[in-house]
Structure 1
């Protein structure tokens, strides 16, 4: 089987990923709407409120990563936007898209970790003591953790701020016309290893 046929199948997988992502968004929105619309659920100890909030944040981060990862890597590698990139000169707008992909990638990892950590806290720490209950600990954890999720991606990607963004062609086994969004000379000539990993497997589901 030729690589062209393989990538034809890859197009189908990209479309399929959009279908199940839309279904996921619909389910999460329904959960959010039911949870906050029903006051009885909020009063009853059915779902831990802090755990549910971290779950929603995790899903939002995963959705943002899915969107920007498709814009930067998956869709351009199919060759759909090759002609469009021919008309686009290197600009900071393309660089911002790349940085948003990295930012959403970090956020997806951070909030997945926060969700798992919150579950462990609820599991091993009871609510018997008011000052040391799992609700108090989870609130303090979120108060400290959320600013970290906003600051550390900026620190990690600071070297890209002066770099222009541009489209670059991908080498075989990618089909002719396959491209991806990259960036030019950066501060201290630093490059991200995340790009190399994503470049190798743009059609893998990372959510």
Structure 2
């Protein structure tokens, strides 16, 4: 199966660089490019990408607006990875809140780019716990009744998710099967109304369920 990628960046050189890296992989292909978020909806409808690499800062429609629009309006929205120069950027935080599945720095190595695309395409999230803690620090006050509905084991799984552990690593830590963990993660996302692990983890930090300073 070939993963289809849409590149969105107002810098033509960045687009060329990303296309070169992606098209060199046998299981990845760039189906389209855009220079602004306003171009994203029709391109997504036409080309059905699995993953969108979205520049977070663009002059007309930025990556936050474009991501929010995709997640809220597309029937089966692609996974979005926001691409940024600075990891401690409010734009990154807002893009993650809007529904992006993670972020990459523009200085990321080619191997990191292709690994990230494959990761989010299979339904996982690109979590950098330390960076997310820095982004969320000082933004508390958000609440969710869904947290109160978590079982003790689901709450434990959410705390481990917040440390960046994969399902397999959580299963090893809890001495349970990977499918059991997958079920717990699915229950956590459903109860919190979260699209993926990133949104669940951000909510856990913002609500104080997990401490950003811990």
Q: Shorter-chain TM-score: which interval?
A: under 0.3
Structure with the greater relative contact order (CA < 8 A, sep ≥ 6): 1 or 2?
1
Q: Which has the higher strand share?
A: 2
Q: Which has the higher helix share?
A: 1
Which one has a bigger Cα radius of gyration?
1
TM-score by length of structure 2 reads 0.21
